[in-house]
Structure 1
Amino acid sequence: MTIIANTKQKAVYVCRECGYLSRKWLGRCLDCGEWDSMDEQIQAEPKSKVVLSPTDKPVPLHLAPDGDEERATTGIAELDRVLGGGIVPGSVTLIGGEPGIGKSTLLLHMLAEVAAQEKKVLYASGEESARQIKLRAKRLEAIHPNEYLATENSVEKIISMSCEMMPDLLAVDSIQTLSCAEVTSAPGSVSQVRESAHKLLEMAKKENIPVVMVGHVTKEGAIAGPKVLEHMVDTVLYFEGDRSHAFRILRTVKNRFGSTNEIGVFEMKEEGLVQVSNPSEIFLAERPLDEPGSVVLPSVEGSRPILVEVQALVSPTNLGTARRTAIGTDQQRLSLLCAVLEKKGGMDLYGHDIFLNIAGGIRIDEPALDLGVVCALASSLLERSIPSSTVVFGEVGLAGEVRAVGQVDIRVKEAERLGFTRCIIPKSNAERCVRPEGLEIIGVATMSELLEVIFNQP
């Protein structure tokens, strides 16, 4: 295909927050509503005539080239799990997370493991000097002769290095620090991020070089730059966790080559990020036994069952309006379950402050959490403990009914493996699930049945 172009330049104004384009300066962006966010840019308007060559023709789908299913493992089992089995050649992966959460640390560990497989890797950093990166790599013991380092901000130079070197993996830290010579705005602007990512994407697909990019996040928790950045790449991973906690969760939100429900669990130590192959035992290690307001929930993230502790504290309030606080889950869901427990369970929660916590810093949003929340709230309000050998899971409806959830068998098997002897689940699930030896399965259909089983009260 041949393009004959004649260009002329003119000034336009682009919102640095959302990428909205205007022909004149505006005090407030008409799209996202941000004030004083319009930056002037010089834009070339091409007047093109497209001439199709003989090879520019659509082909029948069954005659198209077959996809390459080969994956390259990163050497980090938790990361391979999240990626769907490894890195696909020519793919582009974006990793986002809060500052200091461990994105660059994970990148160095990954590069060292791939380099140990006798593969060349290139680390392009626009944020730190070579001295800083080497000091951190020595502390993490993540140095290998097959690792190459480039402290560069120009996306054109990074692409030229990659095309000349042809590495088996290119890592860019971060996409917000890169600049494209064709764009006049400052690095980190919407236009620069979009164009830099587009050039890296073109290079990855053309040369079949996998690219891993680090992306900064905004105060709202989304990856900074235009939303189109997440649409362009093949995989988007978010690194979650509280810097005051040792555990980190690597979660998939988009994956063209695998499931979007998998998570990887890491623990931050002095030597860097350490994989947690059995997170259930870690999350339950410090659980208080036979304590009111505590119950164990078998949750499922993707194909992985994880047993976590659900904690609730219900205490009389001194304020005019009682507080409802949830950490690790949706606060609106907590308010809904409190209303159901009052209406269908006959419990007075109106004059009480309620605090709910998923221990360990993990976040759970699946409906199976409902039964655990209800049991923890009732236990704390009544000051009656739930036996430490009991696990619960199930969805609670507005009418007080207990509804079925999915992936019951792997939840039950994980509970049995860790030594629990009683499992309270929805009645419809109990009729169909596998019953391991040594684990009592109790099915409940309503809120009243649940309270009777838990506390032996009508």
Structure 2
Amino acid sequence: MPEFQYKCNNCERIALRWEGKCSSCGEWGSLEETPVSSDVKFSFGFDNPQPTIELSKIYDKEDSRYKFFSPELNMVFGGGLVPGSVTLIAGDPGVGKSTLLLKISSQICSENNKVAYISGEESGSQLKSRSKRLGISGNGMYVLETSDINYILNQLDGLKPKTVVIDSVNTLYDDSVESPQGSINQLKSSVSRITHWAKSKNTPVILIGHVTKVGDIAGPRVLEHMVDTVMYMESERLGINRILRCIKNRFGSTNEIAIFTMDKNGLNDLEDPSKAFLSDINSNHVGSSMIIALHGTRPIIVEIQALTSKSYSPVPRRISTGVDLDRILLLTTVVNRKLGLNVASQDLIVNVTGGFKVSETAGDLGISMAIISSLLNEPLKSHLAIIGEVGLAGEIRQVPYMGKRISDATKLGFKRLLLPNHGVKDIADVDLKAIELIKVDNIYDAATTIFDSKILNSDKQGK
């Protein structure tokens, strides 16, 4: 048996020989030499073994979710905060993580509950100053200025809070672990202990985390597996909108987002999220289209902008912000082949306004129309929204939740909707008198219906 082994400090994979790149998580230079000990100790999530219980008789903690003051937060958390859950919220410095957690703490305290706010970065006076700016009294909120996990757990046992907030998880340390503060071993040990405490006390814990330069959560990948929920808080550069995006949730959907606006009073729910991503539905800008994207169960209307320009490079550039680049390449190929428009010689830039990201294929037709608009230098018709997936044969495919999308478009004042011919099924509750449905079978029909260009009308090969 070898005396040494190599352990990845990111995902904890064990290798018998050194590797420059971990074959499990892909991290470079993460394998460290560790001695092999015959005295192996196993650690489990719960110290006290419990007898077997029939599943139907186990108490469902989700039935007692705590409802937030914010419908947006309730949506992204899957209906509220689950007792005993551990949530990690990460984001860039200054994006509003601490502000959000202070407002959450304030609401919980307003219902005669205790909240323990563990601050390893800011002093109590700094938190007091921030809370005054936000109009938070702080009654019932107990601040603990320390990073020592042993002292923290000891104080929590005596305080018995309703909720615990730790700002931030990256500052925690366990003096029983022989490694410097902020190291991977310290982080794993501290999070493991606070997670075990949360489960045993049935108390929710919310952790604030840092991100790296490339946008990943700072710390080992195993950290994301240890917690129940992982969320990212994002913002536009110099913008006022904030998006809380869920990427892991053991108690709900990972497709939901919460959208807030930042002002002097902190973060507030955005009353009409669609308007945050639109400029003006009356405007007729070349290369601009409105699509109805579904994020989780919420339809949000966003603006797609496309710009084409003759390329003087052997390989024309393709730049995409907010849309998968591979999807853009697919759509440009379909436009080139089915409409006879020369996209191959053009530089192409596609952008989603407002910092939104379109991940579903329902935006295909709108993206294609924006690209065609820029190529023809002809704007789309005003008050027009677009829904539809584009196939490789140029056909327009149906998308789910058509009724929700049409209702949202009608509420925002759109008069026309371009959509698949065979996708109008679940719209029984939609008032069709307020909006004109333009049904098309393929991308050629869509382009010739929307644009008046003679170039398209003279080219019948696309059909």
Residue 269 of structure 1: aligned partner: 263
Give the superposition deviation at 1:345.
Answer: 1.7
Name the TM-score, length of structure 1 as normaliser: 0.89
For structure 1, which segment, 301-310 or 188-197, has the greater mean C-alpha deviation from structure 2 after superposition? 188-197
- Note closer, same or farther for the CA distance 1:433–1:34 as it changes in structure 2 (3 Å cut): closer
Are residues 1:219 and 2:244 paired? no
- 8 Å Cα contact 2:294-2:300 kept in structure 1: yes
- Aligned in 2, Cα 1:120/1:426: closer, same or farther, shift over 3 Å? same
Deviation of 1:186 (Å): 2.0
> Does 2:166 align with 1:143?
no
Following TM superposition, by how much is the alpha carbon of 1:138 offset from its aligned partner in structure 2, in angstroms?
1.9
Quickly say closer, same or farther: Cα 1:126–1:162, change in 2 above 3 A.
same
Aligned to 2:447: 451
Q: In 2, are the aligned partners of 1:100 and 1:243 still within 8 Å (CA)?
A: no
Amino acid at match of 2:121: E
Alignment-mate amino acid for residue 250 of structure 1: L
1:331 aligns to what? 325
Q: AA paired with 2:436?
A: E
Distance 1:228 1:30 in 2: 14
Which residue in the other structure is 1:354 paired with? 348
Equivalent pairs counted in the alignment come to 446
Q: Is the 8 A contact 1:314 1:354 kept in 2?
A: yes
Tell me the residue number matched to 1:7: none
Shift of 1:397: 0.9
Deviates more, 1:397-406 or 1:278-287: 278-287
Contact 2:61 2:83 in 1 (8 A): no
Q: Does 1:122 align with 2:116?
A: yes
Corresponding residue for 1:314?
308
Please identify runs of 4+ aligned residues in structure 1 that moved more than 6 A.
10-13, 39-45
Structure 2: gaps of 5 or more residues: 458-463
Q: 1:336-384 deviations in whole A, cap 9, x for unaligned? A: 1111110112111122111111111111111111011000001111011
Aligned to 1:205, the other structure's residue is in SS state helix
Partner amino acid, structure 2, of 1:446: N
Distance 1:441 1:174, change over 3 A: same
Relative to 1, partners in 2 of residues 1:381 and 1:229: Cα closer, same or farther, differing over 3 Å? Answer: same
- The two structures, once aligned, show a CA RMSD in angstroms of 2.8
Q: For the Cα contact (< 8 Å) 1:241–1:248, is it kept in 2?
A: yes
* TM-score of the pair, normalised by structure 2: 0.88
Q: Which amino acid aligns with 2:359?
A: D
Unaligned ranges ≥5, structure 1: 1-9
1:297 is aligned to 2:283: no
| Superposed CA offset, 1:50-89 (max 9, x none) | 9xx9985423333444545111122222112211221111
Residues of 2 paired with 1:432 and 1:47: CA distance? 59
CA change 1:431–1:452 in 2 (3 A) is farther
Confirm or deny: 8 A CA contact 1:78 1:277 kept in the other structure. Answer: no
In structure 1, the residue matched to 2:438 is: 442
Is 1:427 paired with 2:431? Answer: no
Equivalent residues in 2 for 1:47-58, closer than 5 Å: 56-58=50-52
2:151 maps to 157
Q: Residues 126-157 of structure 1: CA distance to partner in whole angstroms, max 9, x if unpaired?
A: 12222222222222223321111111111111
Q: Is the 8 A contact 1:305 1:414 kept in 2?
A: yes
Where does residue 185 of structure 1 map in the other structure? 179
User: What is the CA distance between 1:44 and its match in structure 2?
Assistant: 8.3
Superposition map of 1:64-143 within 5 A: 64-67=58-61, 69-143=63-137
Q: Which residue of 1 aligns with 2:222?
A: 228
What amino acid is aligned across from residue 215 of structure 1 in structure 2?
G
Higher alpha-carbon deviation: 13-22 or 357-366: 13-22
| Aligned match for 1:416, one of 406, 410, 420 | 410
